[in-house]
Structure 1
Amino acid sequence: MFGAGVADLVEGVSKLSHLSKLARDNNTASRTAEADRLHTMLLAMADARAVLIKLADRVHNMRTLEALPLVKQQRFAKETMEIFVPLANRLGIASWKDQLENLCFKHLNPEEHTELSSKFAETFDEALITSAVDTLDEGLREAGISYHNLSGRNKNLYSVYSKMQKKNLTMDEVHDIHGLRLVVDKEEDCYRALDVVHKLWPQVTGRFKDYISRPKLNGYRSLHTVVMSDGDHTFEVQIRTKEMHLQAEYGFAAHWRYKEGSCRHSFVLQMVEWARWVLTWQCEALNKEHSSSQVKSDAIKPPCPFPLHSEECPYSYTRQCNHDGPLFVILLEHDKMSVQEFPAGSTVMDLMHRVGANSPRWSPYSIPMKEDLRPKVNHEPISDLGRALSMGDVVELTPALPDKSLTEYREEIQRMYDRGGFALAATRSGSGGSRRR
């Protein structure tokens, strides 16, 4: 009824949901290294739209979280903060990232959220921002400076909280909570508009930053200045071109690298850039005021040939860039989950060797306790251990014991030993095997 494309999307979202549940049940997010591998694996899915659907679903779930018991609310919010917020950040979806952060903040730190929300409402002066927009609009018109967009903006509540915690500030000392954002056509207009701003309002000393002539390490470019309005209220003004705004909003500046630090694998950067290229291209296609040539400039080169396919092509959203980096797979063993990293080209046999090397094969009584394991890949039993692993595979290792679980066998053996039902003739001196008395 819906076609193969929709079916593939449903399958992709279902797999993401399965991985998310496994991570939540095993508290994977609390282990930084494994959480990072999980982020990478989710981004490696073949269709970026599946990731977007899952993120949208998580935003909806977080909005209705009050329906769950308190303990589940906190578990869900913790997983969202540690798994899905970084994912939205890496994809450059700032609005979803902000929503998720604020909702997680509300459930994880309810007292701090309530207090800060109250102060935030007290300090917000909508009339001040509206007046500032009108004042700047008039000043720009008088100076003959055309602009693309001028709007008021508020800093994300969780970002305010994080900044206060990180720099030991009070809310009054955070100067960029409220402000204006001006998007102009040309770079020279940024500096002309800055002169207008500083003529309209006195500048706060030491609060001007020129990220155009000296971009951030992540490539972010814009002018930031903090000014003083009537009544001793401060607000920030950001000035940038349309191209700079596109970079900042949709990710070509790789904002996640600035926020989260360096990345060990170059192919991860490529995958992130590819996914962001998909998002940016879609936004460009929907925005008639932009031409596709703007995002194909020398300054912004797509890492993959997307979008070279026609709209009807079923592969138009498929990742075109192959990577030679490591693979990340989910390992389920004895109801425990871990995110494992393997070199490209690794097989199920390689995974089995690793499991065998990392698990004790003998009990303190020299009884072989490491039973044979039957592997399943994505719920399907396999007999060919030479099967190549793929990014995102879920590998289950189940014991080959016929009826009883490994725990039951261990308990039974321990009871027999405690009752003296058998003895071990094998000694450290190597005197032979076990025998019945």
Structure 2
Amino acid sequence: MLRQYELVERVKEYAPEADEALLNRAYVYTVQKHGTQKRASGDPYFSHPVEVAGLMTELKLDQQTIITALLHDTVEDTLATIEEIDKLFGPDVARLVDGVTKLSKIEVMTESERAAENLRKFLLAMSEDLRVLLVKLADRLHNMRTLHYIKKEDKRRRIARETMDIYAPLAERVGMYEYMREMQLLAFEQLEPEGYATITGRLAQIRSEEGGQVDELALSIKQVLAEAGLNVEVSGREKHPYSIWRKMAERHVNFEQITDIMAFRVLTDSVDDCYRALGVLHQAWQMIPGRFKDYISTPKSNGYQSLHTALIFQRSMRIEVQIRTREMHRLNEFGLAAHWAYKQGGARPDGQVGWLRDLIEIVDASHDAEELLENTKMAIYQDRIFAFTPKGALFQLPKGSTAVDFAYAVHTNLGNAAVGVKINNRHVPMRTQLANGDVVEIIKSTTSEPQLSWLGFVVTGKARAAIRRAVRAKERAEVAEIGGKLYDEIAGRLPQRLGKKALAHAVERLDLRDEEDLMFAIGSGRLSDRQVMEALVPGSTAELPEDPEWTRTERAISIRGLTAGVGFELAECCHPVPGDRIVGLRRPDHKVEVHAIDCMTLASGVDADWLDLSWGERTTGAVGRLQLILYNRPGTLAEVTQILASNRANVTNLQMTQRDEPFGTYEVDLEVSDLAHLTRIVGALRASEAVADAERI
């Protein structure tokens, strides 16, 4: 921990005219106010604000900011008041401390509480004076450095996630890349401990195996540029572990497939030298197309400037190179903090660049909270966007989220009922991606239902889960509808009429939940006709013949060409039926596989004995598989069920494989007597107005 005189000396080094007495008074004040309070590490609590103040001195910020850092927790955690701070340290410090306190209060609010007025406070606190945000970022950075002292894992992970989602992107947004990288690394260690250990271990291994390769490559780059007459500084480093992890996730590759582990920085005297250095490097080594970016002519929105390129070095090694002036480097590493560095005479810098100036104008011009929400186009968070309901409720979503994601974020029922959307009062498609600050109005209908095609563009887990659940429910209802038709046919074979009690008892005997569950089991082929009849009227199947008309089970198929006692199975890939030319594949310790002669998978049977087979006398119970494309409209399934029933085809399995409005694609397994039977069924289905297409699989 910095001692009192050490902190004062740091400030006096870059600001000789700073008020030493005021700095001393602030140091003593925070020590007295925090008193015997302890941190999780066991250190005195006042060590934290002192270290935060030390971070501010590294940025060479003015004495008001240093004092704010010393006092930033006093109002929230002690009996100190803003009025007392105003009296002792002046209105500027009081305003800054109040701003940091407001940010801290917003931080602990629930998502539902972060409505329009809270957002206004957040924006105003940050936009009125950027130093408020700088102190808050330093506060979070020091808390992350001591996060490992917190014993509860869930609390550590919550703080780490908040840092990764909010504070690291904020640090990047104001150009403080050093803060961003350290926050990400410390949060990464807590959130993905195994990934962190693996990547840092592999980087350590590379360092030990390759010795001083980074220094060697940096020297080679410097020599090439020196020979061209350029005065440069060259430094090299391994890629940031979290950056490697994110690249592995985005590209779906492992560590060994990441080729640009090393990155180098070239600092020059002037902008002209940056472009000259770029040309020299591209002549010396092959550049990788698509990896060059010019942030000097077109800076990032946070003011970042640099040339980025990637080169293929010796032995096909890929490296990244950043080229910038020394002044650009100073501004890049500490971003807008550099614009707030203490100036001779205490003049406040006017370095409010682009986005911050726009933010202030929007806040100042907004007469009420809703107007602010409608007009604010925030670009603070890299991987998150904020969108609002027409009434001003704020929802945070992943970057790339669509109107459907937003609807489900508001409420699952709203997502299920969504039929359209207005974004900023303009009708747009449901797949439209949202931008920061969008006001989203979901149009709903009581007759609407989620579409399977939505899964092609939604990005949130909640939306995906809700859509899948709703689609499964609809598919279940459709299968149950088929089961209901089949049930009527089965019940019609019984000698007596059935009452509701018989159906209720059947559900109980089959250990099912309700009637719908029974119809689904019938429609999906999980129950045979005989099982259903026996459950309805016990003993009713005793005299029934074993005939395809009455039962789907206990049928037999005989195959000629097999040795007596040899087991066989009909292949699932081609579903051969009597009438198909068939062939057998025999492998050791396996049943003989019976395939149709034109089955595409026979090519994989080169290691098996091929047997010339034919159908025997007993051919009942063969299963053929059809693919049906049906029009998605009322009565379609009922008509298909009627066609199958009239052609004496027992459904053993039915599954929807795709929904693409206005069609639904199904796979249906049918018990048929032979190929001619199956062909008649296909012809009958194709003749139906309910069927767009029917093909045998």
TM-score (norm: length of structure 2): 0.35
Partner of 1:127: 212
Contact residue 214 and residue 236 of structure 2 kept, 8 A: yes
Partner of 2:229: 144
Q: Secondary structure at the match of 1:152?
A: strand
Alignment partner of 1:42 is 2:139: no
Aligned residue type for 2:144: M
Alignment partner of 1:19 is 2:106: yes
Rounded Cα–Cα distance in structure 1 between residues aligned with 2:363 and 2:122: 16
Alignment partner of 1:107 is 2:165: no
**Aligned residue pair count:** 279
Contact residue 229 and residue 235 of structure 1 kept, 8 A: yes
User: What are the within-5 Å matches in structure 2 for residues 17-416 of structure 1?
Assistant: 17-22=104-109, 26=110, 28=111, 41-45=121-125, 46-68=128-150, 69-124=152-207, 125=210, 127-147=212-232, 149-198=233-282, 200=284, 202-203=285-286, 205-206=288-289, 208-211=291-294, 215=298, 218=301, 222-242=306-326, 245=329, 248-249=332-333, 251=335, 276=336, 279-283=337-341, 285=343, 323-325=364-366, 341=373
Range 208-217 or range 48-57, more displaced: 208-217
* CA distance 1:15–1:178, shift in 2 (3 Å): same
* CA distance 1:231–1:41, shift in 2 (3 Å): farther
Rounded Cα–Cα distance in structure 1 between residues aligned with 2:225 and 2:298: 25
* CA distance 1:18–1:191, shift in 2 (3 Å): closer
Contact residue 171 and residue 177 of structure 2 kept, 8 A: yes
Deviations 1:53-106 (A, max 9, x none): 221111111121122211111111122222222221222111111111111111
Deviations 1:152-204 (A, max 9, x none): 2443221221122112233344344322111223333233223432455x325
Rounded Cα–Cα distance in structure 1 between residues aligned with 2:274 and 2:115: 40
Aligned residue type for 2:277: A
Contact residue 303 and residue 321 of structure 1 kept, 8 A: no
Deviation at 1:107, TM superposition (A): 0.8
Q: Secondary structure at the match of 2:322?
A: strand
Contact residue 296 and residue 307 of structure 2 kept, 8 A: no
Deviations 1:16-35 (A, max 9, x none): 2222222xxx3x3xx8x959
Contact residue 260 and residue 317 of structure 2 kept, 8 A: no
Q: Secondary structure at the match of 2:310?
A: strand
> Whose relative contact order is higher, 1 or 2, with alpha carbons under 8 Å and at least 6 apart?
1
Deviation at 1:207, TM superposition (A): 5.5
Q: Secondary structure at the match of 1:44?
A: helix
* CA distance 1:53–1:244, shift in 2 (3 Å): closer
* CA distance 1:80–1:222, shift in 2 (3 Å): closer
Rounded Cα–Cα distance in structure 2 between residues aligned with 1:51 and 1:143: 43
Aligned residue type for 2:130: A
Aligned residue type for 1:95: E
Contact residue 88 and residue 97 of structure 1 kept, 8 A: yes
* CA distance 1:342–1:111, shift in 2 (3 Å): same
Deviations 1:259-296 (A, max 9, x none): xxxxxxxxxxxxxxxxx3xx23234959xxxxx99x89
Counting aligned pairs with the same residue, the percent is 31
Partner of 1:260: none
Rounded Cα–Cα distance in structure 1 between residues aligned with 2:192 and 2:116: 24
Rounded Cα–Cα distance in structure 2 between residues aligned with 1:199 and 1:12: 52
Rounded Cα–Cα distance in structure 2 between residues aligned with 1:77 and 1:37: 26
Q: Secondary structure at the match of 1:323?
A: helix
Aligned residue type for 1:162: R
Higher strand share: 2
Rounded Cα–Cα distance in structure 1 between residues aligned with 2:300 and 2:179: 24
Structure possessing the higher radius of gyration over alpha carbons:
2
Rounded Cα–Cα distance in structure 2 between residues aligned with 1:53 and 1:248: 18
Q: Secondary structure at the match of 1:146?
A: coil
Rounded Cα–Cα distance in structure 1 between residues aligned with 2:256 and 2:218: 22
Aligned residue type for 2:122: L
Deviation at 1:127, TM superposition (A): 1.1
Deviation at 1:243, TM superposition (A): 6.0
Q: Secondary structure at the match of 2:319?
A: strand
RMSD of aligned alpha carbons: 4.2
Aligned residue type for 1:281: H
Deviations 1:324-375 (A, max 9, x none): 147669xxxxxxxxxx95999xxxxxxxxx79xxxxxxxxxxxxxxxxxxxx
Rounded Cα–Cα distance in structure 2 between residues aligned with 1:250 and 1:39: 26
Contact residue 99 and residue 132 of structure 2 kept, 8 A: yes
Range 232-241 or range 39-48, more displaced: 39-48
Rounded Cα–Cα distance in structure 2 between residues aligned with 1:91 and 1:182: 23
Contact residue 203 and residue 225 of structure 1 kept, 8 A: no
Rounded Cα–Cα distance in structure 1 between residues aligned with 2:367 and 2:234: 45
Aligned residue type for 1:193: A
* CA distance 1:53–1:188, shift in 2 (3 Å): closer
* CA distance 1:36–1:176, shift in 2 (3 Å): farther
Deviation at 1:142, TM superposition (A): 2.1
Contact residue 175 and residue 236 of structure 1 kept, 8 A: no
* CA distance 1:63–1:232, shift in 2 (3 Å): same
* CA distance 1:228–1:122, shift in 2 (3 Å): farther
Rounded Cα–Cα distance in structure 1 between residues aligned with 2:118 and 2:237: 33
* CA distance 1:40–1:126, shift in 2 (3 Å): farther
Aligned residue type for 1:323: D
Rounded Cα–Cα distance in structure 2 between residues aligned with 1:136 and 1:174: 22
* CA distance 1:214–1:42, shift in 2 (3 Å): same
Structure 1: segments with no counterpart, 5+ residues: 252-275, 287-291, 305-318, 330-339, 345-353, 356-437
Deviation at 1:137, TM superposition (A): 2.3
* CA distance 1:186–1:122, shift in 2 (3 Å): same
